[in-house]
Amino acid sequence: MAELEAWTNLAIRWLHLTAGIAWIGSSFYFMWLDSHLKKPDDAPEGIAGELWSVHSGGFYRQMKFMVAPAGMPEELHWFKWEAYTTWISGFLLLGLMFYVGADLNLIDRTKADLATWQAVGLGLASLVVGWLAYDALCRSPIGQDLRLFSILWFLLLTAAAYGLTRVFADRGGFMHVGAIIGTVMAANVFMVIIPNQRKVVAQVLAGETPDPALGKQAKQRSVHNNYMTLPVLFIMISNHYPMIYAAPLNWLWLAGLGIAGWAIRHFFNRKNAGHVEPQWLAYGALAFVTVAVLNASARPQPAQAVAVPAYAEVRAIVDRHCVACHAAAPTHRGVPVAPNGAMFDTAEGLQKHAQRIYERAVATTSMPQGNETGMTADERARLGAWIKAGAKL
């Protein structure tokens, strides 16, 4: 059963990554295309701009209509399944890792003693509330002011990051912030962009004048999606970096790196539009470096005044808190093989991976996940003292 769960996880993760690349790639391309369209002097009425390009040995001519053409072609390509597949596979992955595996990856009883159904319900509610709050902002007068909207939406996401990381295990909190953003992006496509495009097509086929407000609203959501791509991509890979997600101020570092992603995306959007403004790239780099420096300085240091314990005591601590997962034959449900091949059930394996243990169980508290086994600060300090003294057997 555990092996089947692992293979299912792999299949869904691979699908999620593939669909995400296709979706984000089309988002980046169409933002680039919009910014490079130029209206020829002899352009027919209704043409907003055109672009000639060369790729793969062929020449392409693309034209954009101000609202819609006078008639619809027999074949019209819709860009929607990339978004739908990304969200569906992401939700399945969220369910498999954090809902089926709630006790390991979502619930941290040192923060909130939640039952599984409570944790899952809270996680699902955060996705719904996130979309409703975002959609309400977009439909309000605030949505017409991109700068004001961006600031308020950023503050809402930061508040969500703070709240979720105070209730859930660190990884679970981070991934739910990413799931909120991903849900908003997919819902934009499903609830606004595609329906509006269908309405425009129907109006053209009926011989009516298309409503330009429909295209304007769809464009608004598309631009929002484009700016949210880099922050959500960071969250997707953040589980590899416990110095961020397991830090006491993890919500703040997430906000700072979100700013970095937004600024970098803005630089490229402006550059594609013909405005090279390197200060935005510098702002993004500055945000990244600032987070890195402040994160390192704010990281709590393990207690120093701890006597170096004997190996037998360390062995007992590791056996109690680590080897259920990190062993040649793991006994923890949902862990068919030792994560990253790191096995601590032998003296040699414990010594070999001592530095990794220090980083994840002493310098940060990302292990055990959700502190499922109740590892104490004293145990972490003793383990750290042994590793710092050379991890001698």
Q: Would you say residue 167 has pLDDT above 90?
A: yes
Q: Strand pairing partners for 52?
A: 61
Q: Residues 367-383: what's their mean pLDDT?
A: 82
- What pLDDT band is residue 302 in, cutting at 50, 70 and 90? low
Largest CA distance in the chain: 85
**Average pLDDT of every residue of the chain:** 87
Contact 34, 64 (CB under 8 A): yes
Q: CB neighbours (10 Å) of residue 71?
A: 8
Residue 1 is predicted with a pLDDT of 60
Give the percent of the chain with pLDDT over 70.
Answer: 95
Residue 240 is predicted with a pLDDT of 85
Q: Would you say residue 376 has pLDDT above 60?
A: yes
Higher pLDDT, 54 or 180: 180
Residue 255 is predicted with a pLDDT of 96
Residue 277 is predicted with a pLDDT of 93
Q: How far apart are CA 197 and CA 193, in angstroms?
A: 6
Domain boundaries, the chain: 2-298, 311-388
Q: Residues 43-48: what's their mean pLDDT?
A: 72
- What pLDDT band is residue 373 in, cutting at 50, 70 and 90? confident
SS3 content of the chain, % helix, strand, coil (to 5): 70, 5, 25
Residue 157 is predicted with a pLDDT of 97
**Model confidence over 199-245: pLDDT tens digits?**
888 888 888 888 888 888 988 999 999 999 999 999 999 988 888 98
Residue 377 Rama label (left phi>0; alpha psi -120 to 50; beta) = alpha
Residue 381 is predicted with a pLDDT of 86
Amino acid identity at 354: A
Contact 250, 244 (CB under 8 A): yes
Which range has the top average pLDDT, 122-131, 198-207, 242-251? 122-131
Q: Would you say residue 390 has pLDDT above 90?
A: no
Residue 364 is predicted with a pLDDT of 78
The candidate with the shortest Cα–Cα distance to 170, out of 111, 237, 90, is: 111
- What pLDDT band is residue 372 in, cutting at 50, 70 and 90? confident
